[in-house]
Chains A and B, each alone.
Chain A
Amino acid sequence: MSNKAYIQLDGVTKKYSRGGEELVVLDALDLKVPEGDYVALMGPSGSGKTTILNLVGGLDIPDSGKVSVADTEVANMPKSQLPAWRARHVGFVFQSFNLLPVLTAHENVMLPLQLTPLSKSERKIQADFALEIVGLSDRASHRPSQLSGGQEQRVAIARAIATDPDVIIADEPTGDLDRNSADEILQILDRLNSEMGKTILMVTHDPAAAASARRLLKLDKGTLVSDQTREGA
């Protein structure tokens, strides 16, 4: 074993050029997240939160610095191998759910399982199980348009965990939800972390969501300005 943290960013810089002007989104950022941690990331809009999540999930690559997840150098991986790596190790949850509207809840959950070597019946069992975890077995055949926002987000979480990834990346998962639905989502994330040992990296503006994480990071203009671990966590 290396002495690296489970998720580790070393001197990560990410820039975008917009209209000839260079925008430094992340500036030599360092971050260590041990396995099984549950981290909430807060910060003003445009401070680079989503960019961090994308880098960890291998959807984006840094201009300089290293991103490693479970001993894998994500940024150095050939582009062609990133999707397969992502399918095995990372589950994404988005603010706007991002379910495919033409598929049922169950079919949405089945999507990432198509990329696994599991048999058809094994896939179905895992999809059923994932829906059971989020408490939506009875809505398996519903389309997203037939579900409430909270239910959609629960399906999205089921989809994110269907392949049993180590890391869950959630970008404002309660941002579009009412308080009750948001609390349900937070309870599910909490169970995924405490009972199933998932490492969770969650961006949020919601103080209640931040309070349910074990650790709270604050980001401003591409640099971490605060790192607190919750009492008793």
Chain B
Amino acid sequence: MAFPVRLALRHILASKTRNGLTVLAITIAVFLLCFLLAVVKGIDAGVRSASATRLVTQSAVSLFVSLPMSYQPKIDAVDGVVLSSEFRWFGGYYQDPSNFFPQFAVNQNRFLEMYEKDIEIIEGPDGITGPGARAAVQKALNSDRRAAIIGVGLKDEEKYSFKVGDTVPIVPAIYQRADGGSWEFIIVGIFRPLKERIPDKVMYFRSDYLNTSIESGEAIGEIAAGVYYINIDSGDIGDVVASTIDDEFLNGPQRTQTITEAAFASFFVSAIGNLPLFLGTIGGAVLFSIFFSVVNAMLIAGRQRLKESGILQALGFTPLTSTFLLIFEGLMVALIGGALGLSLAVGTEGLVQDLFGANIRNYKIDSNLMLLALATSSALGITAGLSAGIPFLGYRPTEALRSMG
């Protein structure tokens, strides 16, 4: 092994506790960095995949307040609106509250038209797949009020394993049934999302199932539309259409707030405002403080090394040798910590994906993130090594030799 490498490794091993703690700090920092950036990227992917020609009209009061059904014709009549579709949050769960995935009540025909390019129907009744599946699923949706379609995630995940033809009971959280039981839905189709913002563990079912059950007294609740998704002619007129719609309902019964799908998508995952900025700030603060603790650890190492610098110079090495040694040590420690943090992030990827579920579907430690993590730790190590090693250059060899360090 080359001499500088050996000497640097010996120094690292000679201060196991200090370097171990530094490695741990960097491990945590790099893991957090990967985690937060992956979250931000996941959210961003959802937002960026949102359509520019789609608006969302929601209650100006709160996302949890439903808009009336009567709004739909008025929205459809606005210039530039091509199509609207209601989306109503159902909020039930399958068997156990921990088995949560979103369910939305929609008008099945408007929904399918609106999402024509957003989802791909991959399986329908009687095992039909391919291009014919969409029409078959639409037909099946229209022929049974309890019919529903699901994202492919609910088929793939073992604890659900839903198949076409299954009758799936959903325990209601909002719309209680008079008999106290579950709602039953019949799966007639499975789709794969083509856009990042659409979850793959989600169920869409017919809103008239909900509404007629409420009307007949079988279920308790309010007949309403939830929010409206709106397809418009072109992205350029989004502002005009949005304000026209909001003006229309200025005098109630519910005031509306119409925003782009992108804004809605980012709002939906970030109820506390600008989540990416928030997470980025946390990540930055963590990195910043870890950075100083690493620099501090290296500075301590450096102070103990002034004498060695003098000895090495007496032997004929240049003062830069000690500087390089410290940079190398900083780099080694930082890269070990970085590699551990990265391994932790990669190792827990699946776990975190499960935790986030449908909220952030694109949590992924991709190769860009890995490179960034390693580059960040390298930069951290080199900077720490430099700040510890540069001061050596300011000492005369005799001063270094006379020092106690």
Q: Is A107 an interface residue (CB 8 A)?
A: yes
The A99-144 residues at the B interface (CB cut-off 8 A) are 100-103, 107, 110-112, 114-115
Q: Across the interface, which residues of A come within 8 angstroms of B308, CB to CB?
A: 100
Q: Is B7 an interface residue (CB 8 A)?
A: yes
Distance, CA A28 to CA B311, complexed state (A)? 28
Mask: chain B, 304-326; 1 = CB below 8 Å from A; 0 = not: 00011001111111100000000
Q: A102 touching B7 by the CB < 8 A rule?
A: yes
Q: Across the interface, which residues of A come within 8 angstroms of B11, CB to CB?
A: 102
Q: Across the interface, which residues of A come within 8 angstroms of B10, CB to CB?
A: 102-103
B308 to chain A, nearest CB (A): 6
Distance, CA A107 to CA B6, complexed state (A)? 10
Q: Which residue of B lies closest to A54 (CB)?
A: B398
Q: B396 touching A60 by the CB < 8 A rule?
A: yes
Assess A83 versus B313: contact at CB under 8 Å? Given A110-B3, A111-B3. yes
Q: Across the interface, which residues of B come within 8 angstroms of A205, CB to CB?
A: none
The B354-405 residues at the A interface (CB cut-off 8 A) are 396-398, 401
Number of chain B interface residues as a range: 20 to 34
Q: Across the interface, which residues of B come within 8 angstroms of A221, CB to CB?
A: none
Q: Across the interface, which residues of A come within 8 angstroms of B315, CB to CB?
A: 86-87, 92, 111-112, 115, 159
Mask: chain A, 151-195; 1 = CB below 8 Å from B; 0 = not: 000000001000100000000000000000000000000000000
Q: B313 touching A59 by the CB < 8 A rule?
A: yes
Distance, CA A54 to CA B401, complexed state (A)? 10
Q: B317 touching A115 by the CB < 8 A rule?
A: yes
CB contact between B316 and one of A54, A94, A103, A115 (< 8 Å): that residue: A115
Q: A84 touching B311 by the CB < 8 A rule?
A: no
The A28-63 residues at the B interface (CB cut-off 8 A) are 54, 57, 59-60
A-B contacts besides A83-B316, A103-B7, 12 pairs, CB < 8 Å? A59-B314, A60-B397, A60-B398, A83-B313, A85-B316, A86-B313, A86-B314, A87-B315, A102-B13, A107-B6, A112-B316, A114-B3
Q: Mind listing 15 A-B residue pairs with CB under 8 Å?
A: A59-B397, A59-B401, A60-B398, A84-B316, A85-B316, A88-B316, A92-B314, A100-B7, A100-B311, A101-B14, A102-B13, A102-B14, A103-B10, A110-B3, A114-B3
9 nearest interchain CB pairs?
A: A87-B316, A102-B10, A92-B314, A112-B315, A86-B316, A59-B397, A114-B3, A83-B318, A98-B311
